[in-house]
Amino acid sequence: MKPIWKNSSFRGKSIRLQVFLSHAGVASRRAAEDIIAQGRVSVNGITVKTQGSKVNDGDIVLLDGKEVNLENQRLYLALNKPAGFLCTSNDPQGRPIALNLLPQKDVRLYSVGRLDFLSCGLIFFTNDGDFASRLGHPGCGIEKEYIVEATGIIPDSVVEAFNCGITIEKVYYKAKTAERIDRKSLRIVLIEGKNREIRRVFSHFHLHPALLRRVRIGPVHLGDLPEGVSRPLTDGEITALSSVERKGNVKEGNTW
């Protein structure tokens, strides 16, 4: 049998199936556990649903009938996502997919977190499941900075709501900071990042964001990266991002 993780640090070892799937770029470990439970994975022709099952060098692992191998190279990309693109692997409605903007067509990549269909700006893609799981966790405590432009004048009450906190339909929203750029635009920094938080607060005040662009994630700035273009994260950026812990802290020496 061929070695399925040749040139990998796992060569010659037995590893848990969910760890294997994570390092193969299929999904985070937690998501891989769900995939296994659904009966979508087989090892040497036998469907595996038991968590903690191990894979040995030379075993043949299939996901939905397609062979899965460990990625020898870890990829960490920053994309300036245009509005009108989905952060998903496919769409039944045939809408544009952000993944198709990336130059790496032969590597299984997935997004770290989400930017909704109408939003634009900075988003990461990787084949490192642990990296994606850590940064995508709601409690990781990483800052995300947005520029928001409204179709009309933004009243002071909106800025106050973001800074002091507001409950809308039993959900509490609060930014780390929100400051006015001009009469129709704000700079907002979020940490927890609830689903569509900025849009929900704007809608509560009968406002519509004409532009919602994410310009920073932790130490990584969008800068002058053109829309629809990606770049590899630098070693320094990866080190700083990898230091983020789920409890919301950053290891000593890495702050922003």
Alpha helices in 7-142 (DSSP H): 17-23, 29-37, 129-136
Distance CA 123, CA 30 (A): 21
Distance CA 113, CA 143 (A): 13
Contact 131, 76 (CB under 8 A): yes
Q: Which of 57, 59, 116, 130 is catalytic?
A: 116
In the chain, the DSSP E strands lie at 15-16, 41-43, 46-47, 54-55, 61-63, 66-67, 76-81, 110-112, 120-126, 144-150, 166-168, 171-173, 177-182, 185-190, 209-217, 220-221, 230-232
Token look-up 């004409």 returns 210
Is residue 59 flagged as an active site residue? Answer: no
Pairing state between β 54-55 and 120-126: unpaired
Q: Active-site positions?
A: 116
